[in-house]
Chains A and B, each alone.
Chain A
Amino acid sequence: MVQERNKHGISRREVIKLSLAQAAGLALLRRTGGAAAADAPKPTPHAKSVIQIWMWGGPAHLDTFDPKPDAGYDYCGPLDRPITTNVAGVQIGQLLPLLAQQADKYAIIRSMTHGVNAHETASYLMQTGRAPDRLVFPCVGAVVSRFKGYDGGYTGVVPPYIVLTELQGRFSEAGFLGQRYKPFATGGDPNAARFAVEGIVAQGITDERQLRRRDLLHALDSLGRVLAGNDQFAEFDRCEENAYNLMFGETRTLFDLSNEKDDVRERYGRNTFGQSCLMARRLVEAGVPYVTINYRGWDTHKQHFQTMQRRLPELDRGMATLLADLADRGLLDSTIVWWGGEFGRTPRVQWEPPWNGGRGHYGNCFSCVVAGGGFRGGTVVGASDKYGAAVAERPVYPRDLIGSIYELLGIDPEGPLPNDRGLEVRLLPTDAEAGAGGGRLREIMSS
């Protein structure tokens, strides 16, 4: 990526050097604590990027990656014929035939648990690995942005943490890390004729006009001239320069999905989710460390099975194509794909009014899927009981999963989380703070 120099002659690389000096200071701190996982050999960091498919609202584990055909109609409803996959002995939901053909690429965790059935608290747990306390911690994306973004050697013009397309807003995603680590939400719709990324792709303003009015802006900047050298104004200049680099640079081409062949776009599915998956691949290809696809519509209290019939094929096509495409391009080894929501859904179908065939929130036992970046595919971690109601083997808590992702990225889960609030905190809580966990997913992490 281009290394640009701002008006004050400080290049991004020099800024990074400063951060590295700070990081060296932190390395000293790191030695003082958190030796929990020290006895097992640490996996080699494989991953450079993460694509998080956030199943907003909580997807039903029974209808996706943990089918229970023997549990009967009260549990399965009409979806009682799971299908075999390309991995011997592994079955998944019948509405996911394309994903069944990619099962060798991902690991299914069937024993996720945190026990919380409220959206906010469960989202917080799944995105931070922590139970709510007085402090609001950053979510995984913000942490990765802290370590792998501009403070960690990333020099891209595109922001290091992108959300397709809207923020969750359930809590401030960067927590106490603050503004700098918040995601860039694209807005717009990647499935529209033109993906209007808010701020980057302007509607109906020519480049010539952009440049002309920028000159006007600078000609009228009287206060800026009077206060030249003021720190806040220097920051303002730096941000403006970055903004123009985004508007005029390679970013525009990156977000322009019409550069992809039609058959590729078709393969991902001509819908917002499918095209978001395609966009995510393009971003990762360009070196962006963290991309979240906020995929709405899984809070299916009512009309559950109708929704599954309609939406699962969309999920199936988009995610299966993403995995295949990443693998074909040699990107899967360095890209973690993480699928899951805040919880699962009640194994027993709520046939009674007012739900009339819905599934409620269920945090006691549910599924997540991970692929790539050093996670071994074609595997299953843990198991639920015969109804998918409780963990039968090998519980996996949110922090076990998140810690594993950090390890594969080369981020120390026990390490300190640098912040400008003066807080002495670690990325993830220790067992002493949070109670015994299930342990990181060493069984599916390549060493």
Chain B
Amino acid sequence: MRRLVLLLAVVAVPVAVPAGESPPVLPYEAAGQFVPTGPIDECVLADLRAHGITPAPLCSDAVFVRRVYLDVIGTLPTAAEVGTFLADEHPDKRAVLIDALLERDEFADYWALKWCDVLRVKSEFPINLWPNAAQAYHHWVREALASNLPYDAFVREVLTSSGSNFRVPPVNFYRAGQGHEPETLARAVALTFMGTRLEHWPEEQRRNLAAFFSRVGFKATAEWKEEIVYLDPAAAKPLDATFPDGRCLRVPVGQDPRQAFADWLISADNEWFTRCIANRVWAWLMGRGIVDEPDDVRADNPPANPALLASLQAELVRSGYDLRQLYRVILNSRTYQQSSIPRGDVAEAEAHFAVYLLRRLDAEVLIDAINGICGTHEEYTSAVPEPFTHIPKEKRTIALADGSISSAFLELFGRPARDTGLMAERNNRVTDGQRLHLLNSSHIQKKIQEGPALQDLLRSARRDRRQLVSTLYLTILSRHPTPEEERAAVSYLRSAQAPRQAAHDLVWALFNSREFQFRH
């Protein structure tokens, strides 16, 4: 069945097909064997051989440039950026682009968004951080990412900080949720930094972990909604605590048990620590965890490729917990740079990383991409009276701090509620309502008809239909049109009585294409 589909696909895009078992599909793939670039590829290839799975070919430059912008900075490349990259003839241009993207401001914006999902950064129900604390917390997370604070230091600050929720932002970790009971706090810690769901642990182990957070105190101040998180000074007895690995420790009075827990957790030898983050980053970039779901580590949910996971963990430790370095290694791998067109069974290819996983664009990324092309802006609202709801026009959606600040579009396209910190909360499944909205809402139609940047673009290319088509393809799909596409589009423009309307229809058609709406 699958082969038949592939055969049809090749027929559908009539290009010179080189002889061979798996010819590249244009314009999405490039020629070339799978040559491992390092431990990641070696581990993946060994696994594929063992299971008799054929990896997908290398993706084309055009696919790569779009993909890597969307994955690394949550932002569509401009037509100029695409043009420059495609024209570049240096053999290492992909690596150079990866390095450049890791330094962009949007890198911090986009990954702060992802982290704030799992850290539950939201002012309102049921998290109730309240606006100023949510802003402070987001700002702190974003700065940590912008300055590439090593991951071990990041976790230590989050786990052990004390002080005001306004002045010491990481203390908000313990405030973000319903209830301040030790087990509730322990659940959040286990989910966020160990990638496991405490509710599935045996009762005794749950209690043991909760004990480390039994002396976290909370008190209000005279400042509205300020809250101090602190070590409970009233505790009169030393605390006998047991770590998840069974080791025991007596924490003396006056010492913070959270410190002891952080000392245990944050260690190169602690699987719980390195596995969770290595797997999380992989899942973020590749669309699926090696342990999947990535925050559900259990004995009966083993990694799909243990050697691969171990190699990522080793890389992380070797680099001194430099997350950006981990991104760099993954992004440069041949595995990441595979095409999204599987050879062989799809489910098997996806489970063993023999293909790049298709994913609908995140809600925030999608609306930013549309606004970027049209030169338009969004309006956001929040249900709590907040001082921060007036968002400057230029602010991009991926840079929004607070999960309570939202729009109908974001809700419709599955932005996570930030209620639980589960990665599965972000829902990128397509729904009827989403199709309806992009096909026919006044919200989108107005952007296409009136967006100033888009109108300028259409005006500048209005004399030459082929140039118009080419510009729109580069702007919206980040590639040149194929000859067939160019013919179809030009003929549509030529036959129209209202040329401007026809150009708007072409933009509409490209916005509504799967190629635009998916990372591929």
Contact residues of A with B, CB < 8 Å? 120-121, 124, 132-136, 159, 166-172, 178-180, 182, 184-185, 187, 196, 198-200, 202-203, 205, 209-210, 212-213, 216-217, 219-233, 235-236, 239-240, 242-244, 246-247, 421
Establish whether residues A243 and B440, one from each chain, have CB atoms under 8 Å apart when the complex forms. yes
What separation, in Å, do the CA atoms of A99 and B485 have in the docked complex?
62
Tell me the smallest distance from the CB of B3 to a CB of chain A, in Å: 11
Q: Given contacts A202-B445, A421-B424, is CB(A227)–CB(B358) below 8 Å?
A: yes
Q: Given contacts A226-B28, A239-B435, is CB(A172)–CB(B505) below 8 Å?
A: no
Among the 9-residue stretches B73-81, B274-282, B306-314, B506-514, the one with 4 or more Cβ atoms under 8 Å from chain A is B506-514
Establish whether residues A136 and B419, one from each chain, have CB atoms under 8 Å apart when the complex forms. yes
Establish whether residues B177 and A134, one from each chain, have CB atoms under 8 Å apart when the complex forms. yes
Tell me the smallest distance from the CB of B27 to a CB of chain A, in Å: 8
Chain B residue nearest to A225 in the complex (CB): B12
What separation, in Å, do the CA atoms of A185 and B407 have in the docked complex?
12
Establish whether residues B431 and A179, one from each chain, have CB atoms under 8 Å apart when the complex forms. yes
What separation, in Å, do the CA atoms of A328 and B506 have in the docked complex?
50
What separation, in Å, do the CA atoms of A429 and B277 have in the docked complex?
36
Chain A residue nearest to B413 in the complex (CB): A179
A159 partner residues in chain B, CB cutoff 8 A: 432-433
Q: List 11 A-B contacts (CB under 8 A).
A: A120-B124, A132-B178, A172-B417, A178-B427, A203-B445, A210-B440, A213-B505, A220-B485, A220-B510, A236-B435, A246-B436
Contact of A169 among B383, B434, B435, B485 (CB under 8 A): B383
Tell me the smallest distance from the CB of A375 to a CB of chain B, in Å: 30
Q: Is B319 close to A, CB under 8 A? A: no
B427 partner residues in chain A, CB cutoff 8 A: 178-179
Establish whether residues B488 and A185, one from each chain, have CB atoms under 8 Å apart when the complex forms. no
Tell me the smallest distance from the CB of B181 to a CB of chain A, in Å: 11
The 0/1 profile, CB within 8 Å of A marked 1, for residues 485-516 of chain B is 10011001000000001000110111011110
Establish whether residues A243 and B439, one from each chain, have CB atoms under 8 Å apart when the complex forms. yes
What separation, in Å, do the CA atoms of A217 and B485 have in the docked complex?
11
B360 partner residues in chain A, CB cutoff 8 A: 232
Establish whether residues A202 and B440, one from each chain, have CB atoms under 8 Å apart when the complex forms. yes
B179 partner residues in chain A, CB cutoff 8 A: 134
Establish whether residues A213 and B514, one from each chain, have CB atoms under 8 Å apart when the complex forms. no
Contact of A185 among B177, B346, B408, B489 (CB under 8 A): B408
Chain B residue nearest to A168 in the complex (CB): B383
Establish whether residues B442 and A229, one from each chain, have CB atoms under 8 Å apart when the complex forms. no
Establish whether residues A229 and B2, one from each chain, have CB atoms under 8 Å apart when the complex forms. yes
What separation, in Å, do the CA atoms of A185 and B5 have in the docked complex?
38
Establish whether residues B1 and A223, one from each chain, have CB atoms under 8 Å apart when the complex forms. no
B13 partner residues in chain A, CB cutoff 8 A: 222, 225-226
What separation, in Å, do the CA atoms of A120 and B127 have in the docked complex?
11
Establish whether residues B126 and A217, one from each chain, have CB atoms under 8 Å apart when the complex forms. no
Count, chain B residues at interface, CB 8 A: 69
What separation, in Å, do the CA atoms of A29 and B346 have in the docked complex?
34
Q: Is B482 close to A, CB under 8 A? A: yes
The 0/1 profile, CB within 8 Å of A marked 1, for residues 436-465 of chain B is 110111110100000000000000000000
Chain A residue nearest to B381 in the complex (CB): A169
Chain A residue nearest to B442 in the complex (CB): A203
Establish whether residues B515 and A199, one from each chain, have CB atoms under 8 Å apart when the complex forms. no
Establish whether residues A246 and B432, one from each chain, have CB atoms under 8 Å apart when the complex forms. yes
Q: Which chain B residues numbered 1 to 33 have a C-beta less than 8 Å away from chain A?
A: 1-2, 5, 8-9, 12-13, 25, 27-28
Q: Is B138 close to A, CB under 8 A? A: no
Establish whether residues B9 and A225, one from each chain, have CB atoms under 8 Å apart when the complex forms. yes
Q: Given contacts A132-B178, A198-B442, A228-B8, is CB(A239)–CB(B432) below 8 Å?
A: yes
B340 partner residues in chain A, CB cutoff 8 A: 227
Establish whether residues A239 and B5, one from each chain, have CB atoms under 8 Å apart when the complex forms. no
Q: Is B125 close to A, CB under 8 A? A: yes
Interface core residue of A171, A217, A222 (most chain B CB under 10 Å): A222
Establish whether residues B432 and A221, one from each chain, have CB atoms under 8 Å apart when the complex forms. no
What separation, in Å, do the CA atoms of A438 and B422 have in the docked complex?
35
Q: Is B406 close to A, CB under 8 A? A: yes
Establish whether residues B436 and A199, one from each chain, have CB atoms under 8 Å apart when the complex forms. yes
Chain B residue nearest to A223 in the complex (CB): B515
The 0/1 profile, CB within 8 Å of A marked 1, for residues 113-125 of chain B is 0000000000011
Chain A residue nearest to B415 in the complex (CB): A172
Contact of B505 among A121, A196, A209 (CB under 8 A): A209
Establish whether residues A179 and B485, one from each chain, have CB atoms under 8 Å apart when the complex forms. no
Establish whether residues A167 and B408, one from each chain, have CB atoms under 8 Å apart when the complex forms. yes
Establish whether residues B437 and A199, one from each chain, have CB atoms under 8 Å apart when the complex forms. yes
Tell me the smallest distance from the CB of A128 to a CB of chain B, in Å: 11
Establish whether residues B433 and A199, one from each chain, have CB atoms under 8 Å apart when the complex forms. yes
Tell me the smallest distance from the CB of B358 to a CB of chain A, in Å: 6
Tell me the smallest distance from the CB of B481 to a CB of chain A, in Å: 8
Q: Is B390 close to A, CB under 8 A? A: no
A233 partner residues in chain B, CB cutoff 8 A: 358, 514
Establish whether residues B435 and A243, one from each chain, have CB atoms under 8 Å apart when the complex forms. yes
Chain A residue nearest to B516 in the complex (CB): A223
Tell me the smallest distance from the CB of B472 to a CB of chain A, in Å: 11
A179-B414, A239-B434 are known; give 10 further A-B pairs, CB within 8 A. A135-B420, A136-B419, A171-B125, A213-B509, A217-B508, A220-B509, A222-B484, A232-B430, A243-B439, A247-B440
Q: Given contacts A222-B13, A226-B341, A247-B439, is CB(A172)–CB(B28) below 8 Å?
A: no
Tell me the smallest distance from the CB of A69 to a CB of chain B, in Å: 35
Establish whether residues A221 and B124, one from each chain, have CB atoms under 8 Å apart when the complex forms. no
Tell me the smallest distance from the CB of B461 to a CB of chain A, in Å: 18
Contact of A200 among B177, B431, B436, B506 (CB under 8 A): B436
Q: Is B208 close to A, CB under 8 A? A: no
What separation, in Å, do the CA atoms of A421 and B434 have in the docked complex?
22
Establish whether residues A180 and B431, one from each chain, have CB atoms under 8 Å apart when the complex forms. yes
What separation, in Å, do the CA atoms of A165 and B19 have in the docked complex?
58
What separation, in Å, do the CA atoms of A133 and B178 have in the docked complex?
6
Contact of A124 among B1, B12, B125, B440 (CB under 8 A): B125
Tell me the smallest distance from the CB of B349 to a CB of chain A, in Å: 11
What separation, in Å, do the CA atoms of A286 and B414 have in the docked complex?
28
B488 partner residues in chain A, CB cutoff 8 A: 216, 219-220
Q: Given contacts A159-B433, A216-B509, A223-B28, is CB(A136)–CB(B514) below 8 Å?
A: no
The 3 tightest CB contacts between A and B, nearest first, are: A120-B125, A199-B436, A243-B435
Establish whether residues B509 and A196, one from each chain, have CB atoms under 8 Å apart when the complex forms. no
Establish whether residues B513 and A220, one from each chain, have CB atoms under 8 Å apart when the complex forms. yes
What separation, in Å, do the CA atoms of A135 and B184 have in the docked complex?
12
What separation, in Å, do the CA atoms of A284 and B520 have in the docked complex?
42
Contact of B432 among A198, A209, A226, A242 (CB under 8 A): A242
Chain A residue nearest to B417 in the complex (CB): A172
What separation, in Å, do the CA atoms of A135 and B179 have in the docked complex?
12
What separation, in Å, do the CA atoms of A210 and B505 have in the docked complex?
9
Establish whether residues A169 and B515, one from each chain, have CB atoms under 8 Å apart when the complex forms. no
What separation, in Å, do the CA atoms of A229 and B9 have in the docked complex?
11
Q: Given contacts A199-B439, A233-B514, is CB(A134)–CB(B178) below 8 Å?
A: yes
What separation, in Å, do the CA atoms of A135 and B417 have in the docked complex?
11
What separation, in Å, do the CA atoms of A120 and B122 have in the docked complex?
14
Q: Is B379 close to A, CB under 8 A? A: no
Establish whether residues B346 and A230, one from each chain, have CB atoms under 8 Å apart when the complex forms. yes
Q: Given contacts A227-B358, A228-B9, is CB(A239)–CB(B437) below 8 Å?
A: no
A180 partner residues in chain B, CB cutoff 8 A: 431
Tell me the smallest distance from the CB of A249 to a CB of chain B, in Å: 12
B518 partner residues in chain A, CB cutoff 8 A: 223, 232
Chain B residue nearest to A224 in the complex (CB): B514
Establish whether residues B430 and A236, one from each chain, have CB atoms under 8 Å apart when the complex forms. yes
Tell me the smallest distance from the CB of A146 to a CB of chain B, in Å: 15
Establish whether residues A170 and B513, one from each chain, have CB atoms under 8 Å apart when the complex forms. no
What separation, in Å, do the CA atoms of A388 and B381 have in the docked complex?
35
Q: Which chain B residues numbered 295 to 349 have a C-beta less than 8 Å away from chain A?
A: 340-341, 346
Contact of A217 among B424, B430, B431, B509 (CB under 8 A): B509
Establish whether residues B514 and A221, one from each chain, have CB atoms under 8 Å apart when the complex forms. yes
Contact of B430 among A178, A203, A209, A239 (CB under 8 A): A239
A124 partner residues in chain B, CB cutoff 8 A: 125-126
Q: Given contacts A187-B408, A239-B432, is CB(A217)–CB(B515) below 8 Å?
A: no
